[in-house]
Amino acid sequence: MSILRFARYIAHMTSLAISVKDLSKKYESGFAVSHANFEVPLGTICGFVGPNGAGKTTTIRMLLGLISPTGGTAEILGESISHPEKYLSSVGAMIEGPAFYPALSGEENLKVLATLGGFPIERVNELITTVGLAGRGGSKYKTYSLGMKQRLGIAAALLPNPKVLILDEPTNGLDPEGIQEVRDLLKKLASKGTTVFVSSHLLSELELISEYIVMLRKGEVVFAGTMKELLLQQQPIILVKTENLADLNKIVEMAQADGHHATIRSEVAHIEGPAEWAGTLNRRAFEAGIVLTQLAPQLPNLEETFFEMTGDRS
């Protein structure tokens, strides 16, 4: 029996790209990351979200061996983060935006990293084309726009042909077309078996591509699991608009009287409750002489859920 359990444990562990157990980083000012626990299965796209200062970058830096944890442990591709040399050759990363030598060209910057990592130099031109920098690879990095810098950062992360790709805000500074290109690229990589661990503030983008979500708040993991599980945990929402703005307060009172949590945001009442209750509300509003101009039951999206779970509206 114990052999069977051990075999199951091994099978589970080898199916994981990232496994984090009780990981903590404490500074004099307090915990940047506190007892974080989460797992990311191989070949998936995992969104890593949290408000500014939640500890996302600190977690990523610990995973890459750049800073040492003060507690707990983590494994990437089955190797402990205390021995980053064992897994970093299979990991691509862009941390806190792109960082390159301004006086070197984009191409030369990638060649520095390719030489350092022992990757074929020919891969540099291939990647420059992949990220849409063909024709600008020879220009100095300092002449690049923010979007171009971001693309170069992604190219650098792809240099090792990574099994695990860790990206911190990869779409920052990109135009809508660029964002879509990155989204397609990440999907393509995941379909080929690359695990993508991506932090972003563009929650709608993450919702489109992520199967897994890890949510941090004040250094603590508030959710780790599939996107489906996350959204199912949340109450459906009914959005209500009235002809007369003053009637919104009455709508909120009606919802609260029935035990539903309700708030007014941007001239819209947000009522947590099952879709069926929308019919009850419609009838009561009619009886009270309130004209509804919108009554829309909907499942919460990632953004709503994020605000709900992190309490962050900044």
| In the complex, least distance from residue 197 CB atom to other proteins, rounded to whole angstroms | 14
- CA 293 vs. chain centroid, Å, equals 35
The interface region with other proteins, picked from 39-47, 64-72, 220-228, 273-281 by CB under 8 A, is 64-72
The interface region with other proteins, picked from 92-100, 189-197, 224-232, 244-252 by CB under 8 A, is 92-100
Kindly report the three-state secondary structure assignment for every residue of the chain. Answer: CHHHHHHHHHHHHHCEEEEEEEEEEEECCEEEEEEEEEEEECCCEEEEECCCCCCHHHHHHHHCCCCCCCEEEEEECCEECCCHHHCHHHEEEECCCCCCCCCCEHHHHHHHHHHHHCCCCHHHHHHHHHCCCCCCCCCEHHHCCHHHHHHHHHHHHHCCCCCEEEEECCCCCCCHHHHHHHHHHHHHHHHCCCEEEEECCCHHHHHHHCCEEEEEECCEEEEEEEHHHHHHHCCCEEEEEECCCCHHHHHHHHHHHCCCCEEEECCEEEEECCCCHHHHHHHHHHHCCCCEEEEEEECCCHHHHHHHHHCCCC
Q: What mask of x and - would describe binding to other proteins in positions 128 to 167, judged by CB under 8 A?
A: ----------------------------x--xx-------
Which CB sits closer to other proteins, 155 or 254? 155
| In the complex, least distance from residue 193 CB atom to other proteins, rounded to whole angstroms | 21
Q: Which of 95, 124, 221, 254 binds other proteins (CB under 8 A)?
A: 95
| In the complex, least distance from residue 113 CB atom to other proteins, rounded to whole angstroms | 5
Task: Please report whether residue 79 would count as binding other proteins according to CB under 8 A.
Answer: no
φ, ψ for residue 28 (rounded to 5)?
-60, -30
| In the complex, least distance from residue 200 CB atom to other proteins, rounded to whole angstroms | 19
Which CB sits closer to other proteins, 160 or 273? 160
Q: Which of 115, 129, 233, 256 binds other proteins (CB under 8 A)?
A: 115
Task: Please report whether residue 117 would count as binding other proteins according to CB under 8 A.
Answer: yes
Q: Which of 1, 3, 116, 246 binds other proteins (CB under 8 A)?
A: 116
Q: Which of 1, 28, 52, 118 binds other proteins (CB under 8 A)?
A: 118
Contact yes or no for 233/225 (Cβ under 8 A): no
Number of residues forming the site for other proteins (CB under 8 A): 31
φ, ψ for residue 36 (rounded to 5)?
-75, 135
Q: Which of 64, 222, 268, 292 binds other proteins (CB under 8 A)?
A: 64
Task: Please report whether residue 246 would count as binding other proteins according to CB under 8 A.
Answer: no
Q: Which of 7, 10, 13, 99 binds other proteins (CB under 8 A)?
A: 99
Which CB sits closer to other proteins, 95 or 224? 95
Residues that bind other proteins (CB under 8 A): 61, 64-68, 84-85, 88, 91, 93, 95-97, 99-104, 108, 111-113, 115-118, 156, 159-160
